[in-house]
A and B are shown apart, each in its own frame.
Chain A
Amino acid sequence: MAANTDMATNEKVDVVIVGAGASGSVFAAVLAKAGKKVVLLESGPDWQPSDLISSDFWGRRLKPAGPPFLLEGKNPYGYVYQAGWGTGGAALHYFANFPRLLPNDFKVKSTHGKGLDWPIDYADIAPFWDKVADDVGVSGDAKAEEVWRPAGKPYPMPPMRTFGGGDVWKKGFGALGMRLSPAAVGINSRPFKGRPACLYDGWCHVGCPIGALANPLVTYLGEARQAGAEVRPHATVTRVLTSADGGKATGVEYYDAGKQKQVQEANVVVLAAWSAQNPRLMLNSATDKHANGLANSSGLVGKYLTAHFASGTSAMFEEDLQPYMGTIAAQYFSYDLYDKNAHKDQGAFGSTFMVAGAAQRYSALGGVANARPDLFGAELAAFMKRAARGYTRLTAFAEEMPVIENRIELASDKDEFGMPLGKITHAFNDDAVALFNANFDKGVEIAKATGAKDVWPNRGPMPTIHLMGGTIMGKSAADSVTNSYGQTHEIANLWIAGPGIFPTSGAPNPTYTILALSLRGAENLVANWRAVAG
């Protein structure tokens, strides 16, 4: 369907936020509660809890369905599984693991001569992790985690219940002298702020309709709406508009559900679309004053993309582990391999974060059937019968160091609105490949120590998990796109939210840090509103 090029202009607002996922929802809640008129433009549907059917089939509706990103490089970035589409974004179907970064994540370049430094430290974010925990509800044992990290506030809820699929890993870790802690998760172990406790049914990854899991619909986005923020679904933003002198963002151009071109003027523009979509928008917003795209005099918009990867280890027990019970989040986690040089003897560099005991599903990409992708026919059927009650998995997430060659840029192909498609180029370097392999060896060693009947590494193509970077934070426009709050160095009223501002990724799941940084950024924006918005 051809786009309609007639343009409608809406009443000017204080803030327009592009994307109603995890980070955009935080900005919306903080700004709306501060009395600002907020509009969120979301390219996908406005999901309701009643849409969240407990099915791996129906859960796929929550994944991107817009124009594709073109994928290139030695390790093409497979993004659809983990990206979002619609209100709540990826945090509508995330696993709700809530680990935080550790102090050794923030000065990797200075300490090791690899990667990049953050312009802030652990202590700058720590109060915001604690605030987020109180806002959305986190279950866990903060004291137990303090063997790895500085002390902080206790979590507002005790750890979740555990089941056989998680408990069996304690023996393996213990035999190797390694430590496990109850996992910190954004799921209610008991009723919290009017939301019920978890039922441990294992359907978190297709959306939790009862609100036990802290997705944006029942946390920050809900609060934002209550405070008056307006959400416009099926609104596809194509450009950020700037003033004639190039000094200010003036709003955005978008296409509505009817393919009608619209303009939303605003005093402040927050790009909270996605780590790949934000750079695509900035590059597509070039003008004579910003010939290389917005906030891009350094040429760094779209650069230093990073991905996590994971080495999974499978274990099959004769006992009934009830592996279908629990949550898709971990039951236990460990930072014991978090030192950047933990696997130095194997030529690896980077941190590893281990999780154990996620509830198992039986189909779909992460399901039990893909624990042995080589099996088919009668052998697969026999494996499935056995795995139904005896299978569990340990996953070692790890980080790659940012390199400028991992990037997003505009392609020559265009989408239905005439906007160039984004092209993501990605390859893992030798440090990362060595880390991937080392974590299989360690995983198998741990699994064998559990006493499992069968143990095997889930080797396959090196996966790309989460997407970070592309609009990294730093000290100046010479080395980065934004400051530590997400404010672009070059256009004071253009802000970036989300993991795109991470200079390095660390190894843990990023959402907890996304929420904390967004809260820190949004509060800073409110505190400096007059100077920023003019």
Chain B
Amino acid sequence: MDEIQRRAFMKGAAIGALAFTIGDADVMLTPRQARAQRVPFRTLTADQAVTLDAMGEALVPGAKDAGISNFVDQQVSIPAEDALLEARILNVRPPYANFYRAAVGAIDGASQAKYAGRNFAQLAAAEQHDFIDLMRQNKLENWKGPGAGFVYFLLRSDAVDVVYGTMDGYSHLGVPYQPHIAPTRSW
């Protein structure tokens, strides 16, 4: 069997996508589709999602539309042993929702202290850039939560995941994905 045939053979065995809840039904969507369809959040609040979207987009352009907040919300709403988050790899202790709540709280708290009561999402692009640059170096004042540098690294990883870790992301970079078993729906 040649290589192309073998790849095609394996592709049929795929499982994948993430289960989002719309009404009483679980549907399989990518985070990008979940965002586009305004799937309600299960664990994050709307305000937390706004901050996460803004931070994700500032870290990795494209993360907001790629559904970073829907991805994180879905992942912190399922059992930790099923989670696909980088937090799992970086020794964050479950439940992961606690980490994200604390991280978002620390971001907005430090932003409010530095920028006259404004949350991170309300900052101008240049202000967001300066804020992140201090955050990654653990140099933000009034930071209260998990280590700022660690939060930077982990949220950046999440944003990289949804932008570059997908089949669409590889396509955007101009490199072939070449799966043995393809995740469904480009995920």
What is the bound-complex CA distance between A203 and B167, given in angstroms? 13
User: Given that A54-B183, A58-B16, A362-B164 are known contacts, is A78 also in contact with B173, CB under 8 Å in the complex?
Assistant: no
What is the bound-complex CA distance between A388 and B61, given in angstroms? 16
The reply to whether the CB of B156 lies closer than 8 angstroms to some CB of chain A is yes
Shortest C-beta distance, B165 to chain A (Å), equals: 3
Please determine whether A61 and B91 come into contact, CB atoms closer than 8 angstroms.
no
What is the bound-complex CA distance between A385 and B175, given in angstroms? 10
Please determine whether B16 and A53 come into contact, CB atoms closer than 8 angstroms.
yes
Interface code A2-44, partner B: CB below 8 Å = 1, 0 otherwise? Answer: 0000000000000000000000000000000000000000000
The reply to whether the CB of A378 lies closer than 8 angstroms to some CB of chain B is yes
User: Given that A196-B6, A363-B160, A365-B89 are known contacts, is A377 also in contact with B129, CB under 8 Å in the complex?
Assistant: yes
Please determine whether A384 and B16 come into contact, CB atoms closer than 8 angstroms.
no
Shortest C-beta distance, B175 to chain A (Å), equals: 5
What is the bound-complex CA distance between A76 and B91, given in angstroms? 10
The B-contacting residues of A in range 39-91, CB under 8 angstroms, are: 50, 52-58, 60-61, 63, 65, 68, 71, 76, 78-81
Please determine whether A381 and B60 come into contact, CB atoms closer than 8 angstroms.
yes
Kindly name the residue among A55, A370, A385 whose own CB sees the greatest number of chain B CB atoms within 10 A.
A55
The reply to whether the CB of A208 lies closer than 8 angstroms to some CB of chain B is yes
Q: Collect the chain B residues with CB atoms within 8 Å of residue A362's CB.
A: 160, 164-165, 169-170, 173, 175
Please determine whether A57 and B84 come into contact, CB atoms closer than 8 angstroms.
yes
Please determine whether B183 and A57 come into contact, CB atoms closer than 8 angstroms.
yes
Q: Which of B93, B153, B179 meets A55, CB within 8 Å? A: B179
Please determine whether B90 and A80 come into contact, CB atoms closer than 8 angstroms.
yes
Please determine whether B132 and A364 come into contact, CB atoms closer than 8 angstroms.
no
User: Given that A80-B88, A210-B6 are known contacts, is A363 also in contact with B169, CB under 8 Å in the complex?
Assistant: yes
User: Given that A210-B6, A388-B173 are known contacts, is A364 also in contact with B165, CB under 8 Å in the complex?
Assistant: yes
The reply to whether the CB of A148 lies closer than 8 angstroms to some CB of chain B is no
The reply to whether the CB of B144 lies closer than 8 angstroms to some CB of chain A is no
Please determine whether B89 and A54 come into contact, CB atoms closer than 8 angstroms.
no
Interface of chain A: mostly helix, strand, loop or mixed: loop
Q: Collect the chain A residues with CB atoms within 8 Å of residue B23's CB.
A: none
What is the total number of residues of chain B having a CB less than 8 Å from a CB of chain A? 51
What is the bound-complex CA distance between A52 and B82, given in angstroms? 14
The reply to whether the CB of A389 lies closer than 8 angstroms to some CB of chain B is yes
What is the total number of residues of chain A having a CB less than 8 Å from a CB of chain B? 46
What is the bound-complex CA distance between A54 and B165, given in angstroms? 11
User: Given that A364-B161, A369-B164, A374-B136 are known contacts, is A54 also in contact with B90, CB under 8 Å in the complex?
Assistant: no
Q: Collect the chain A residues with CB atoms within 8 Å of residue B164's CB.
A: 362-363, 367, 369, 384
The reply to whether the CB of A441 lies closer than 8 angstroms to some CB of chain B is no
Q: Which of A55, A81, A203, A324 meets B165, CB within 8 Å? A: A55
Please determine whether B93 and A324 come into contact, CB atoms closer than 8 angstroms.
no
What is the bound-complex CA distance between A370 and B89, given in angstroms? 14
A197's nearest neighbour on chain B, judged by CB, is B3
Q: Collect the chain B residues with CB atoms within 8 Å of residue A319's CB.
A: none
The reply to whether the CB of A99 lies closer than 8 angstroms to some CB of chain B is no
| CB-based closest 8 A-B pairs | A363-B165, A54-B179, A65-B81, A201-B178, A388-B173, A57-B84, A369-B160, A55-B183
Residues on A facing B (Cβ under 8 Å): 50, 52-58, 60-61, 63, 65, 68, 71, 76, 78-81, 196, 199, 201-203, 208-210, 324, 362-365, 367, 369-370, 373-374, 376-378, 380-381, 384-385, 388-389
29 contacts between A and B (CB under 8 A): A60-B86, A61-B82, A65-B81, A68-B93, A76-B91, A78-B91, A80-B90, A196-B1, A201-B178, A201-B179, A202-B178, A324-B175, A324-B178, A362-B175, A363-B164, A364-B86, A365-B90, A367-B160, A367-B164, A369-B156, A374-B136, A377-B59, A377-B60, A377-B132, A381-B60, A385-B173, A388-B174, A388-B175, A389-B175
| Known A57-B161, A199-B178, A365-B157; further 12 A-B contacts with Cβ < 8 A | A53-B183, A56-B165, A63-B88, A65-B88, A199-B3, A201-B7, A201-B180, A362-B170, A369-B160, A376-B59, A376-B60, A377-B58
Residues on B facing A (Cβ under 8 Å): 1, 3, 6-7, 10, 13-16, 58-62, 80-86, 88-91, 93-94, 129, 132, 136, 153, 156-157, 160-161, 164-165, 169-170, 173-183, 187
